[in-house]
Amino acid sequence: MKPRLWLLVLTVGIECLLGLFSPTHGATTEKPIRRTWDVAGVTREALLYGITDAKAQPRPLVVIFHGHGGSMRNAAQAFQIHELWPEAVVVYPQGLPTAGRLVDREGKQAGWQMDAGDHGDRDLLFFDAILQQLRHDGWVNENQVFVAGHSNGGAFMYLLWAKRSDHITAYASSAAAWFGPYAELKPAKFLMLAGEKDDLVKYAWQRKTFDALRRNFDCGELRRDENQCWVADSPSGAKIMAYVHPGAHTFPPEGPALIVNFFKASIRP
């Protein structure tokens, strides 16, 4: 692999406010359902697509976490996963004001907890509440639960991987890296999207994450697939993939299709 491609994984965040992210998809034609949950005495909300008036049937579930400074609404408008995968239930949760590590140190913008125990694990508990409710309502196929996130949302995706892996089938992240113990990340199916010019979540940090996962999961040689992704398989059944684009701290326009196709291919029987 060429050195430039070695350097390497959904959500809109403060990147929008900084002019670093430009949504490329059109407005959705489906109207979402806004649902709320009481999580430790705090009202949390999310936009849901794929919930119909018909009798509930188990379907794939995709939960997408916006970046720092983002919202559930602009995440839904930007990523349109619900349009690319109309058979799935797609959830865009809303974060709460959170101090960021790299931006917004005062915590004026919405985001997600970075480490276990932060804010009383409010966001881990929020994910639990979403999953529990949709399971109770009959909408969740237990073998088809997927999570994705961009930037701070991608960092939270890693935390879910570390703390909720028994409930999740596959993961996808953009412009994010893992800074916790790699032993906490069990072998799984994972897609990383990374911009070569990312100067916020450094490209080298993302490469380090990818390299460590490949090493810890005892993956074989890298190969290129038809979508120009780097792919490595493990005897454990883990698969890690990396799509490198020439941009900065952005979500590439080809990202939604790559993620949907990856999730579909990761469905367990």
**SS3 state at 248:** coil
Q: Is the pLDDT of residue 11 over 60?
A: no
Average pLDDT over residues 6-18: 38
- As for how many domains the chain has, the answer is 1
Domain span including residue 11:
3-265
Q: Given the DSSP bridges, would you call strands 140-150 and 96-97 parallel, antiparallel or unpaired?
A: unpaired
Q: Which residues contact 13 (CB under 8 A, 6 or more apart)?
A: 21, 66, 67, 68, 69, 70, 111, 150, 151, 152, 153
Cβ pair 117, 163 in contact under 8 A: no
* pLDDT value of position 133: 97
Beta strands in 18-130 (DSSP E): 33-39, 42-49, 59-65, 89-93, 96-97, 110-111
The DSSP result for 147-187, as a single string, is EEEETHHHHHHHHHHHHHGGG-SEEEEES----S-GGGS-S
Give the phi and the psi of residue 235 in degrees, each rounded to 5.
-60, -20
CATH of the domain at 69: 3.40.50.1820
Distance, CA of 105 to CA of 189 (rounded, Å): 33
pLDDT tens figures, 104-117: 778 789 999 999 99
Is the pTM higher than 0.85? The answer reads yes
pLDDT tens figures, 116-152: 999 999 999 999 999 999 999 999 999 999 999 999 9
